Structure 1
């Protein structure tokens, strides 16, 4: 049985499932050679023009740059730099709308050309056959080359993945999509450089067989390539039938080799590596001429263009500039500008969008040329989409799940294998924009996977941090333990004691001594605490008994005052109506006065005695306050008694019975004795010692109660003295 390579050399071809044959519309743009589009007034260079990550900006606003100078840089294989397409000045680094179906903006470097087109330093490898493949791959990466067929996969990364893993190199020259003729004209006009680029790829990959796959609708390009291929090149030009999408990577591999690329895998998994014909041309320019990827061939086609053809457009050239220069005349009812072909392209939101590395066509159709499919209808389940799907998918089910946002089912039905060729939408009688549903679902799935990856990375970082902290802790403890062991060993060798152990022993000894002292003092402290608690209990009991003072004495005093007032009133009335009563016996009056004075003295003495007794039972501070109040009231009572005694009418006696002189002397003696008795009572009250107490041992509430009781007793004594005096006078 012949091997695959032998079958290929014998001209065997295979076929893939599905496919369509739409109108090609290629002749309107492939009849004239490629021309230069010129230098616009402004170049807008997005940082991301490929699959992968952005590079780091290495220029600033105001910098002057030369043609071919790198504007960004990156150290990973999936990051390719962006270069200045011409010499000029960086005027801005800002957000601008990019060539993407979403119409969103991205960070861009805006360059103002100086129209001198001055080249910077070039690094060439004319002797590339003597160079190591890794060095050439790095040069390709630094030249910013990505796949120019439309996918934009970094070429250097693809070549690295194919080293030693592939035996067949395929150069994709099929260019199967309608309207696009960029590769066709490139092969016609620059066939020699294209073949030289293929030779460089063969030198890097070292495959067993190299195949250039081209559709049979490009006879001029086939002829041009055959003129520059020699037998020593070991390059086969294989012409395949025209069928869309035969230019897709997996489908072309199946046609040329018969190998089926597995789901969600690349062609390198079956020993095949594929590069676009435009990429081979860019590699030749980078290795042989030292020119990075700063321009590409773009097809300008559609009936809205007056001048149709292919141009070399600098990367970053605004599409509006190309429309104006090549005679674009917009359709009156439905003006459209499409990037890409009629099946895989997308309509731009506006024309101020730059040319990028993956822009191969600008299509400006008239309304009749390319009808609008704006009336989506219900699916009639005709299965036409499944019949033409080149990836053998089920477009109908995928559309249902994508519309329902059931992304798990989309992945289960291998949505990622969809190449977005648009064949399903092309044949759909209900005009359902199937590809749009697939693109949106893919974007959502990609965003979800990115979130999961970020969460997983965060988890791994957290676990790594925890492990590192535990490891550091263990190392630290081990280090301290070793240091302590070494210190003990060293002290044991020198005959000394462990300083740490000695310090711990000293601390324990101090603690034991402190506990012993505390134990000795504890009985005395406990006794003091017991005494204090007993005093507090007694004080609380006294406060409880005194918290509700007996007011019965006060009530009696008030009743007595009322009675005395009534009696005085009656006495005044009797005095006003009648003549003074008969004069009593003068001897009786004198005796009564003496008795009154004696009772006043006794009342004063009793007041002082009661104050002394209460001083023993009452809180010292309270007693001091009460004693002061009692002294004041005693003085007042004595003065009132004296005043009443002096104001008592001296009895008038008959001359024959009483000696007037003796009576006057007796009255004066009585008054003097009364005054003396009052002074003595006051002196005794004042001379009573006032105890000194500490403020912290006095209860303010108890002191107030004691003072109130003392005042009540003083008032009672004074009232009793006044009552007795009045009784004497009445008698």
Structure 2
């Protein structure tokens, strides 16, 4: 099938150094003495441990459950006994530790009961869930959970499914050998992806320096009667980048602000397709992967090794030469130095390169940037690395974002061609990590501020509710006292002045009556307490008062109360 190919911007052509490790077929690495299986081996959340120290596990047994949709399960690579669940050095340039399950193999390599499925007879959601439970992730290096990429856009129809077999990085040959030796299972895995995404066409891109792999996949496609297009693409680093391969095969440019599915394209690695088929057709979770062991070793080769195998036991298979001074995980362009010999192989480990001063001579001292622009010419994302370098070095991280530093895929093309031998990618990684750290601090501060504001608002609301409750209680008490006073006044008033039984009670009149009754009681109390000065009257004084009272009666005035009679003087 003839297919028009396109070119992507930039790129370099380093020495491939691939022939050393393809002379022998894929070997099966022996069981190590210990396995250190990190629970976090993919983009997304960290799985929860499901086993305990001292517990016996079987090969393929779930030992870490995915803790979210963008997360992937982890399984026991072989049967044995769990010796510890503790922090262990991670396969990461930082040398930090990560929670890992230490397993002592029992030598039996005893599998769990495996249950194949017929993906064609199941709902797509159920198939995606099976892949999630099987721990299938992108084995091209990104380790993004595969099930999360197997849902097509709801608004854009799926046009192309791109399968990445380019393997452009120098020294790495694990995908090349996989396609040569297990082509039919790769194609069947591609068929699973095709059935879930329903694209209009399937394109498998392989660099033209792998003719055996191209022929093997073309033969497998013909045997299985599929209409997939196996296409040899020009050898140019980084043609294996997802956006670059999509550009070469479809001509579509994926903007930095969008995903490939927004353009109707999705991309997967050939090793990912292979593990997906093993999970579906054989019920096997991801417990091993093919790893290239090459560089400064006597026996370079590809090995199918168990995840969690310590680096020290794996590299011994290649017989490192005496002058070996370190090990790289990945290729020389994007790889990093392993932090120690105890670090384990993980799902992202596609290659281990033994380094030496002869193989990778020490770089000459860094010199000042001369702004020659060579880095910009080879950048596959059309960035301006020399500007990013200046702003990263000056710690002006705001300007690095203006120059789209997060569009950088850290392919290393700029560092490869820099005449001043500036490790540009190292500066970009530094800037990204600082931006992420500051963003994390800002998010933490924003969350703390939000919590403080919420607490303050809650306290004010509770105070207002309490004050309102007290006000209502006081009003109710006052109303109760007023009602009692009104009732008392109504009971003491003259019956003739009282309203008819069936007449409505006037609240204002009741209030006035209560006030009048209160004043009357106060006056009576004052009169009762006031002195009379009539207790010691003489007979003459009493006769005068009686005369005054008589005159008052004659005038029609009520006479005063008779004073108490004075005690008669004793003779």
Question: Normalising by the residue count of structure 1, what TM-score does the alignment of the two structures yield?
Answer: 0.63
What does 1:614-625 align with in structure 2 at a 5 Å threshold?
A: none
Aligned to 2:484: 506
SS of match in other structure, 2:37: strand
Correspondence 1:311 to 2:303: yes
Aligned to 1:350: 340
Which sections of structure 1, spanning at least 5 residues, go unmatched?
Answer: 1-8, 485-497, 526-731
SS of match in other structure, 1:379: coil
SS of match in other structure, 2:254: coil
Distance 2:44 2:141 in 1: 14
Distance 2:520 2:467 in 1: 37
What does 1:609-688 align with in structure 2 at a 5 Å threshold?
A: none
Report the CA distance between 1:211 and its aligned residue. 0.5
Distance 1:161 1:458 in 2: 38
Could you list the per-position Cα deviations for residues 381-410 of structure 1 after superposition, in whole angstroms to 9, with x for gaps in the alignment? Answer: 221111111110111111111111111111
Aligned residues: 499
What does 1:435-450 align with in structure 2 at a 5 Å threshold?
A: 435-450=425-440
Q: Is the 8 A contact 1:249 1:267 kept in 2?
A: no
Report the CA distance between 1:468 and its aligned residue. 8.5
Could you list the per-position Cα deviations for residues 536-574 of structure 1 after superposition, in whole angstroms to 9, with x for gaps in the alignment? Answer: xxxxxxxxxxxxxxxxxxxxxxxxxxxxxxxxxxxxxxx
Query: Residue 144 of structure 2 is aligned with which of 148, 153, 159?
Result: 153
> Cα distance 1:377–1:144, how it changes in 2: closer, same or farther (>3 A)?
same
Correspondence 1:388 to 2:366: no
> Cα distance 1:515–1:357, how it changes in 2: closer, same or farther (>3 A)?
farther
> Cα distance 1:502–1:297, how it changes in 2: closer, same or farther (>3 A)?
same
SS of match in other structure, 2:7: coil
Query: Residue 193 of structure 1 is aligned with which of 168, 178, 185?
Result: 185
Aligned to 2:369: 379
Q: Is the 8 A contact 1:42 1:317 kept in 2?
A: yes
Aligned to 1:121: 113
Aligned to 2:505: none
> Cα distance 1:276–1:516, how it changes in 2: closer, same or farther (>3 A)?
farther
Distance 1:400 1:515 in 2: 93
Structure (1 or 2) with the greater strand fraction: 2
> Cα distance 1:10–1:516, how it changes in 2: closer, same or farther (>3 A)?
farther
> Cα distance 1:474–1:179, how it changes in 2: closer, same or farther (>3 A)?
same
Distance 1:214 1:480 in 2: 79
Correspondence 1:275 to 2:265: no
> Cα distance 1:326–1:263, how it changes in 2: closer, same or farther (>3 A)?
same
Could you list the per-position Cα deviations for residues 481-531 of structure 1 after superposition, in whole angstroms to 9, with x for gaps in the alignment? Answer: 9x99xxxxxxxxxxxxx9994455338999989999999999999xxxxxx
Could you list the per-position Cα deviations for residues 267-319 of structure 1 after superposition, in whole angstroms to 9, with x for gaps in the alignment? Answer: 222211000001000100111110111101100000x2111110011111001
Distance 1:161 1:516 in 2: 91
> Cα distance 1:65–1:365, how it changes in 2: closer, same or farther (>3 A)?
same
Q: Is the 8 A contact 1:91 1:111 kept in 2?
A: yes
Distance 1:518 1:190 in 2: 112
Correspondence 1:86 to 2:78: yes
> Cα distance 1:416–1:289, how it changes in 2: closer, same or farther (>3 A)?
same
Aligned to 1:241: 234
> Cα distance 1:89–1:163, how it changes in 2: closer, same or farther (>3 A)?
farther
Aligned to 1:42: 34
Distance 1:455 1:180 in 2: 44
> Cα distance 1:509–1:346, how it changes in 2: closer, same or farther (>3 A)?
farther
SS of match in other structure, 2:361: coil
What does 1:405-484 align with in structure 2 at a 5 Å threshold?
A: 405-457=395-447
> Cα distance 1:135–1:462, how it changes in 2: closer, same or farther (>3 A)?
farther
Q: Is the 8 A contact 2:391 2:397 kept in 1?
A: yes
Query: Residue 108 of structure 1 is aligned with which of 95, 100, 106?
Result: 100
Larger radius of gyration: 1
Q: Is the 8 A contact 1:162 1:205 kept in 2?
A: no
Aligned to 1:581: none
SS of match in other structure, 1:109: strand
Which sections of structure 2, spanning at least 5 residues, go unmatched?
Answer: 489-513, 530-571
Distance 2:526 2:204 in 1: 107
Q: Is the 8 A contact 1:66 1:119 kept in 2?
A: yes
Q: Is the 8 A contact 2:152 2:197 kept in 1?
A: no
Could you list the per-position Cα deviations for residues 173-212 of structure 1 after superposition, in whole angstroms to 9, with x for gaps in the alignment? Answer: 0000000000000001110110110001101111111100
Distance 1:391 1:306 in 2: 38
Distance 2:194 2:454 in 1: 44
Q: Is the 8 A contact 1:164 1:205 kept in 2?
A: no
Distance 2:323 2:518 in 1: 105
Q: Which moved more, 1:158-167 or 1:439-448?
A: 158-167
SS of match in other structure, 2:20: coil
Cα RMSD (Å) = 3.4
Query: Residue 298 of structure 1 is aligned with which of 287, 291, 300?
Result: 291
Distance 2:528 2:344 in 1: 99
Report the CA distance between 1:96 and its aligned residue. 1.2
Distance 2:218 2:365 in 1: 47
Distance 2:441 2:205 in 1: 40
Distance 2:330 2:40 in 1: 18
Correspondence 1:325 to 2:303: no
Q: Is the 8 A contact 2:160 2:199 kept in 1?
A: yes
Distance 1:463 1:290 in 2: 51
Correspondence 1:13 to 2:37: no
> Cα distance 1:104–1:175, how it changes in 2: closer, same or farther (>3 A)?
same
> Cα distance 1:501–1:118, how it changes in 2: closer, same or farther (>3 A)?
same
Distance 2:73 2:520 in 1: 83
Aligned to 1:133: 124
Distance 1:400 1:457 in 2: 33
SS of match in other structure, 1:233: coil
Report the CA distance between 1:160 and its aligned residue. 2.8
Correspondence 1:142 to 2:127: no
Aligned to 2:278: 285
Distance 1:480 1:128 in 2: 67
Q: Is the 8 A contact 1:171 1:213 kept in 2?
A: yes
Distance 1:430 1:221 in 2: 38
> Cα distance 1:350–1:501, how it changes in 2: closer, same or farther (>3 A)?
same
SS of match in other structure, 1:123: coil
Question: Normalising by the residue count of structure 2, what TM-score does the alignment of the two structures yield?
Answer: 0.80
Structure (1 or 2) with the greater helix fraction: 1
